[in-house]
A and B are shown apart, each in its own frame.
Chain A
């Protein structure tokens, strides 16, 4: 059963009395969302200008966290269409994740050349 359906059913039983109703769930997630945005603002304003490119690249990699959701949707095998779409989503998200972290790694290597190499690692 897809997670969304589980939630929908929970909504229905909750509305019948007992458990979290949809608006409460929304408020809960909204709380997390706003607090996380605030933490983000506080932390990221401390990153100096010269590291803005690895920051962009690294945060891009982390935006691939969608892979987590895609994984659950695909593996739940709730429907053929769902799993096909989810398969595509998982693939694309993983391209984002792995590509993003590797690019950031390469970028940071350029900022920290190994001692003794003349022109830094070439790749």
Chain B
């Protein structure tokens, strides 16, 4: 078995490359190298796999065909992946990551299924193997690992597909599925999962139960993801990311492959940490995000909050306010991405900077649809990253800020989270833009954000509403200032 030792050594080296890749993710310049290290690790692992005893014995008896087959699959997959990644606009990046993630989960489930199929088929003509298969105790790692891989893989695939649909804003996914009966459905499915896992372990007819389990996993992926609203997607993406890693690790348990276990665990840990960070940033528990609705505050009618207090203004008027400003903070939200206004915003910032005004950007951790979404968007517009400030960092400075410009953000700047304990978003850390001298809110209308509640910020005395499309509004403002 010495060849296996060399292979494991190569897997170890690949794992170290993966760890280094993550370490290098701590800064924008080193992260580029980190990405290459990750790719190199993957290449090494794939190369090492070609020397696995199962593969070399097949090559010995069948010639190059096995490798050609795999090469074809890899070429097709690689080609599709590269095309997708190069052609899809970067603004659709969250949904693309979700889709790719789903494919990884599906692959893990398929690997477990393939292993199962091959093992059952090969043991059919092999006495000791057939006996071994028939005598497996239910707790044996083989059964549980295979079952779990199939379950998580299916869950990841369909959860990711639903996430893709919601992020892509496909019409079928617009409304969150909040029927309270869903809890019964989930409970029933969970019970079914337990039964099927036992069935796969106990056998016979393992394959039937395995694929049934995968189907149940897929269903659970749907039922768990459909109820979640678009703006809670950052949490879901991180969680699904973690699941695909755990599915890979589980597959590693099935085929006794150490690089799958290590890499899968690294990814699993990464996803879980980001999930925890996102939940903390929304001040909601993970259970609340996954299973709760958005909580019920007293029904506050929009009119009560807004009537008679909304002051709207145009580009000229707001430009006059900006002319006298020494410090401006721009608060981007998901609407900025939708309006694709990031370049216009940077031009506005440039004009302000030229006038000697101080310009910074306040980034709320869950602004956008993915962790760091706003950072990537603004980076695409060449906004220097020193101007981007995190919420806890910049909140104290709003009191000294002359103008805060809110573009496409709503709930993350809603002061009700601080002031109203009955609000659905009570306790969620928000950006204290209402403390600035003047607040300019760029929005198409008074429509609510994901929490579906009115925002008292819009009715405040020091707030000017600028009702227009994000991009046009900012361009007009820049023109009025110049």
Chain B residues 54-89 with CB under 8 Å of chain A are: 54-55, 57-59, 62, 65-67, 69-70, 72-74, 76-78, 80-82, 84-86
Chain A, residues 72-104, CB within 8 Å of chain B (1/0): the string is 111111111111111111111111111111111
Asked whether any CB of chain A lies closer than 8 Å to the CB of B100, the reply is yes
Q: Is the CB of A72 within 8 A of B54?
A: yes
How many angstroms from the CA of A55 to the CA of B264 in the assembled complex? Answer: 15
Selecting from B123-131, B180-188, B424-432, the interface stretch reads: B123-131
- Nearest-CB distance from B249 to chain A (Å)? 6
How many angstroms from the CA of A38 to the CA of B269 in the assembled complex? Answer: 8
Nearest residue (CB) in A for B90 is: A106
For A3, the chain B residues whose CB sits under 8 A away are: 52-54, 115, 255-257
How many angstroms from the CA of A120 to the CA of B388 in the assembled complex? Answer: 18
Known A-B contacts A54-B25, A67-B46, A107-B376; A60 and B107 likewise in contact (beta carbons under 8 Å) = no
For B26, the chain A residues whose CB sits under 8 A away are: 46-48, 51
Q: Is the CB of A6 within 8 A of B110?
A: no
- Nearest-CB distance from A115 to chain B (Å)? 11
For A51, the chain B residues whose CB sits under 8 A away are: 25-28, 31, 372, 375
Chain B residues 178-232 with CB under 8 Å of chain A are: none
Chain B residues 223-254 with CB under 8 Å of chain A are: 237-238, 241, 244-245, 247-249, 251-254
Asked whether any CB of chain A lies closer than 8 Å to the CB of B266, the reply is yes
Asked whether any CB of chain A lies closer than 8 Å to the CB of B373, the reply is yes
How many angstroms from the CA of A120 to the CA of B385 in the assembled complex? Answer: 14
How many angstroms from the CA of A71 to the CA of B66 in the assembled complex? Answer: 9
Number of chain A residues close to chain B: CB under 8 A? 100
Asked whether any CB of chain A lies closer than 8 Å to the CB of B93, the reply is yes
Asked whether any CB of chain A lies closer than 8 Å to the CB of B319, the reply is no
For A5, the chain B residues whose CB sits under 8 A away are: 118-119, 122-123, 126, 129
Asked whether any CB of chain A lies closer than 8 Å to the CB of B258, the reply is yes
Q: Is the CB of B54 within 8 A of A76?
A: yes
Identify A112's interface contact among B25, B32, B69, B119, CB under 8 A: B32
Known A-B contacts A55-B274, A65-B260; A50 and B375 likewise in contact (beta carbons under 8 Å) = yes
For A80, the chain B residues whose CB sits under 8 A away are: 121
Identify B38's interface contact among A58, A68, A112, CB under 8 A: A58
Identify B258's interface contact among A2, A32, A58, A83, CB under 8 A: A32
Asked whether any CB of chain A lies closer than 8 Å to the CB of B164, the reply is no
Q: Is the CB of B96 within 8 A of A94?
A: no
Known A-B contacts A36-B262, A91-B77, A119-B382; A44 and B90 likewise in contact (beta carbons under 8 Å) = no
Known A-B contacts A65-B260, A102-B81; A58 and B110 likewise in contact (beta carbons under 8 Å) = no
- Nearest-CB distance from B233 to chain A (Å)? 12
Q: Is the CB of A59 within 8 A of B372?
A: no
Q: Is the CB of B106 within 8 A of A92?
A: yes
Q: Is the CB of B249 within 8 A of A33?
A: yes
Q: Is the CB of B261 within 8 A of A74?
A: no
Residues of chain B at the chain A interface (Cβ within 8 Å): 15, 18-19, 21-23, 25-29, 31-32, 34-35, 38-39, 41-42, 45-46, 48-50, 52-55, 57-59, 62, 65-67, 69-70, 72-74, 76-78, 80-82, 84-86, 90, 93, 96-97, 100-101, 103-104, 106-108, 110-111, 113-119, 121-123, 126, 128-129, 131-133, 140-142, 237-238, 241, 244-245, 247-249, 251-271, 273-274, 277, 343, 363, 365, 370-373, 375-376, 379-382, 385, 388, 390
In the complex, besides A65-B263, A89-B111, 12 extra interface pairs with C-beta distance below 8 angstroms are A7-B255, A23-B141, A32-B262, A43-B23, A56-B271, A62-B245, A70-B110, A75-B50, A75-B66, A88-B110, A108-B28, A123-B90
Residues of chain A at the chain B interface (Cβ within 8 Å): 1-9, 11-12, 22-23, 25-26, 29, 32-34, 36-41, 43-113, 118-120, 123
Question: Could you show 5 A-B contacts with beta carbons less than 8 Å apart?
Answer: A3-B54, A61-B100, A83-B118, A86-B111, A105-B32
